[in-house]
Structure 1
């Protein structure tokens, strides 16, 4: 990755020769944030060309954002977590990257900052920018889902105060932050753009070598390390029960991070699953599936946009769950498809409900009960109508560049 302490081009010198050069700093984390960041960078580059702006993008993110053209200050795609206890191993590396980012921003103030999700680190970084660099416009694109579950009004107020523009991806998110006094624009969900290039079911099955009559189930256990610990055992135990009931079924598992390969391969052997672990073919696996059993996250929307029925599971450590109850964390729904319509259209099994027995039962219902399956697909159509038209990333990019 590029070392920003020794940049290829000193910005102060370059501006002497190029008055149109603008720098945007983007901060995000985890695998999903890296994906959303890369899509936004592509949109920003298109918009910059159309506006005649020479654009430099510096970022905290991952490999996808670097491939899209950002100069990386640090890689945050593998240091994300859900849960209070689960986040402890990532505190030190996160603080180190935060310190590096703040040092860089102080020495090289950008023309604009974009924060993408990544609640704790980005709230800290945004607060720093708001106080130390008050003239730098700050955009929050894909805000943390504090509007769903966060009990601390102080942090919600901080988002409103530090943000010059909040680009909402959910209708309920737009309504919530407008009521709090934020400057909000609803742009729609960027996955609408991404899934336009997804293969059809038939195309995906040809590419993966799946017969049309073969029942295929996608298993999506983890994009964070603790999900392997808390979700994968229950998910794979449920898969084993489904396999006992439907011996011809085959499971497909897209690999989110290479670091998880050995652990997942060993689990496939331990549970005796008829399964294939796939690299770099996530969209094909999702599109080809008759059903998915998935962790809660961005992938739930991808499945819904592909009209694939799914069962969503979510677990954290018992200590984190206990603390959340003590602190009165409360959520209406966990999975994005349910959050879009603010009612349950896909089954959610949270914490003690996410047992192998319940996962298997919900999965078999969606596979074998045609009425329930058709209702799920009809609900997907309602959800899709609320996500906005294609061109989400271009709309977001245009709104961001307008602040320059």
Structure 2
């Protein structure tokens, strides 16, 4: 059954954000919508950042925070049930506009049903058809009125296929200072002012904690043995903090790894290098101008299926945007604790070549920051107003 809060609730703009990063992106858009249309009510599926903007979350976004084919199959019935209930609710009382935030496997189908019923549909964060699953372009053309793109090269690609699209910049870019204050971040987290700090970011999904975190913690053990002076911080999504702390205890690292409640931006500002799971967080690390090692591990069948649909040799957003391996990627079988530790420690080597490598990377990330820094909320609401006529 739908949550009780759904009954009779007015909804001008319906939104679905499927995980922690989508919740943050959607919150920025909601702020712009509230400024432009103060009396509008927003509801659907979202997380705490959206709720802080007055969003009525009929379901929490972490219900959809599942990655990988096998993992999706395990939650398939629940996810399909949520989508069906949400669709029926929105068809019974149509909103002015529906905005699907990322989560294309969930949102594109829902957008198709709503558009067929006359509801304006907008997709925020274009599916990466340039990287994998290019067959989605036809689905987008049929199901979506307008795509809000967060990377500058995307609108031309969609427009070639007859899909209206607007580059709105990346909502995270204005939130992250161009020159992060490392000293202030360390003081706020009670970290040593001097000495190397490693931020460990294993992801925000339960499956990532199961597959990625144990490898990261094993790498931490190796790094600690090689460099006893290293400090480690691990920002945890609040819903998964207890599970993450259990893994840390089992690895006998409770005295070594500081588990933080959220505070991923503070951790990235404070660190010298981050060992990080592939996803939106890698772009955040780039915006903080931090060297990184990108890694990922998933169920072997999900990995095999994923490989078949990849169009580019990179999976990390910094490398995709640079179109080269500016930072290391260690995926699946290559993501061994020894390899992860070695690649992370390489960024901390005390020599001129490493210092030049870090400086060059920071310059590239600063240029990327400038490209992505746009008035996203204003540009997005302008596009939505255009869709609404």
Fold shared by both chains (TM-score > 0.5)? yes
Of 254, 259, 274, 1:292 maps to: 274
Q: 1:305 to 1:324 in 2, by over 3 A?
A: closer
Once the two structures are superposed, what CA deviation does each residue of 1:233-272 show, in whole Å capped at 9, x if it has no partner? 2211111111111101111011113334234344345243
Query: Alignment RMSD, CA only?
Result: 2.2
SS of residue matched to 1:349:
strand
C-alpha distance in structure 1 between counterparts of 2:361 and 2:6, whole Å = 51
C-alpha distance in structure 1 between counterparts of 2:384 and 2:119, whole Å = 12
2:76 matched residue in structure 1: 91
Of 306, 309, 318, 2:288 maps to: 306
Deviation at 1:201, TM superposition (A): 1.1
1:28 equivalent to 2:29? Answer no
Of 86, 92, 107, 1:107 maps to: 92
Q: 1:178 to 1:268 in 2, by over 3 A?
A: farther
Does the CA contact (< 8 Å) of 1:300 and 1:335 recur in 2?
yes
Q: 1:319 to 1:116 in 2, by over 3 A?
A: same
SS of residue matched to 1:171:
coil
1:244 matched residue in structure 2: 225
Q: 1:78 to 1:242 in 2, by over 3 A?
A: farther
Deviation at 1:160, TM superposition (A): 1.8
Does the CA contact (< 8 Å) of 2:132 and 2:309 recur in 1?
no
Deviation at 1:403, TM superposition (A): 2.8
Once the two structures are superposed, what CA deviation does each residue of 1:202-254 show, in whole Å capped at 9, x if it has no partner? 21111111222132110011211111121112211111111111101111011
Does the CA contact (< 8 Å) of 1:31 and 1:78 recur in 2?
no
Does the CA contact (< 8 Å) of 1:293 and 1:312 recur in 2?
yes
Once the two structures are superposed, what CA deviation does each residue of 1:26-57 show, in whole Å capped at 9, x if it has no partner? 112011111111121112112224xxxx2111
Deviation at 1:299, TM superposition (A): 1.2
Does the CA contact (< 8 Å) of 1:170 and 1:186 recur in 2?
yes
C-alpha distance in structure 2 between counterparts of 1:310 and 1:65, whole Å = 29
- Runs (4+) of structure 1 exceeding 4 A deviation are 196-199
C-alpha distance in structure 2 between counterparts of 1:321 and 1:246, whole Å = 33
1:362 matched residue in structure 2: 343
1:4-403 to 2 correspondence within 5 Å?
4-7=5-8, 11=10, 23-49=12-38, 54-131=39-116, 133=117, 135-151=118-134, 153=135, 155-196=136-177, 200-272=181-253, 274-325=256-307, 327-368=308-349, 369-389=354-374, 391-403=375-387
C-alpha distance in structure 2 between counterparts of 1:328 and 1:68, whole Å = 37
Q: 1:197 to 1:31 in 2, by over 3 A?
A: farther
Q: Please give the TM-score of this superposition, normalised by the length of structure 1.
A: 0.88
Deviation at 1:186, TM superposition (A): 0.7
Which of 201-210 and 254-263 deviates more? 254-263
Q: 1:175 to 1:343 in 2, by over 3 A?
A: farther
Which of 367-376 and 211-220 deviates more? 367-376
SS of residue matched to 2:76:
helix
Q: 1:279 to 1:328 in 2, by over 3 A?
A: closer
Deviation at 1:121, TM superposition (A): 0.7
SS of residue matched to 1:308:
coil
Deviation at 1:193, TM superposition (A): 2.3
C-alpha distance in structure 2 between counterparts of 1:339 and 1:208, whole Å = 32
Deviation at 1:199, TM superposition (A): 6.0
C-alpha distance in structure 1 between counterparts of 2:249 and 2:203, whole Å = 14
User: How many residues align structurally?
Assistant: 382
Does the CA contact (< 8 Å) of 1:3 and 1:72 recur in 2?
no
Does the CA contact (< 8 Å) of 2:148 and 2:380 recur in 1?
yes
SS of residue matched to 2:379:
helix
Deviation at 1:164, TM superposition (A): 1.5
Deviation at 1:363, TM superposition (A): 0.9
